Amino acid sequence: MRTEEIDVLVSEVGPRDGLQSVDRTMPTELKFRWVDALAGAGLREIEVGSFVSPKRLPQMADTGQVVAHARGIEGLNVLALVPNLRGAQDAVAAGAQALTMPISASRAHSLANIGKTPEEAIREVSRVAGFLASRDEPVSLEVGVSTAFGCTIQGPVPEDEVLEIARACAEAGADSVGLSDTTGSANPAQVRRMFTALRRELGERAGGAHLHNTRGQGLANVVAALDAGVRTLDSSQAGLGGCPYAPGASGNIVTEDLVYLLESMGLRTGVDLEALIEAREIIREGLPGEPLYGHVPDAGVHNGFVYAGSQEVTR
């Protein structure tokens, strides 16, 4: 496990975004082992599950147990996705250190995803923020504006509407507000433009990027986000995941490929690629036959690869 300071935070979402998109359910004990292995590889932030109705997503029924287990890992920031106040209360009771709330810029997607209009969802952000503010132990609230770059149900989403929703979420009490390419529709010029505008609107409360590789644009969009000052990037090991309520929204960015890209660019992630690639075996054990993606796991690192900040050459 690498322990140096980092330049970019890679936020792993596989145990949530990845597993919620798979029809089968990974056994709880294997989820424990997977989270352990991801943290052991140096990942410092993991979204371990979501507090939603098990009738809707039975894959997430054991999230409370996974959160409690993950809290025992030193140095790990444990995230959980919540759609509403009830989910936030359950997540905090389980020990989550940070909550993420998806607020869709697309009205059609918002209704399909959480059964609320964007305006109703923003009011829920306010309720959750009020609940968290009433507690002594700090728990951060992060909002991801989903379908920020386009929607497979609605089509194009006006950029000014995206920024208006982001601003409203910050005013409602979110600690940070990021943008999500839920449907893999974004291009680098759009990503650079939108995150530049987000930082102009929200300053230090402008959050990270959740980008998909559905149409092969994922890592190009990462570079554009970096150019715009983004320093937190979501990804999923082996590219698992996508929104089950957005048709065609497959293809999270592969964590292994993202780490390789960042380190190759001289940006420290603190992640050990070899240990990260080994963690894929737990997915194979828990979800046999599930497609696993990634160029780096297949090809390996190139001769002469050097981790950012290191003098040690890999051969």
Annotated active-site residue in 13, 38, 226, 243: 243
- Specify the 3-state DSSP secondary structure of 256: helix
Cα gap 125→300, rounded to integer Å: 42
Question: What is the signed CA dihedral for 184, 189, 195, 198, rounded to 10 degrees?
Answer: -110
Which of 220, 209, 228, 236 lies closest to 292 in space, CA to CA? 236
Question: What is the signed CA dihedral for 149, 223, 188, 301, rounded to 10 degrees?
Answer: -100
Is 151 designated active site? no
Question: What is the signed CA dihedral for 192, 168, 52, 141, rounded to 10 degrees?
Answer: 80
Q: How far is CA 6 from CA 36, 220, 252, 257, 278, in A?
A: 20, 21, 22, 17, 22
- Non-local CB neighbours of 198 within 8 Å, separated by 6+ positions: 163, 166, 177, 178, 179, 206
CA count, 13 A, side-chain hemisphere, 57: 24
Q: Where in the sequence numbering do the catalytic residues fall?
A: 243
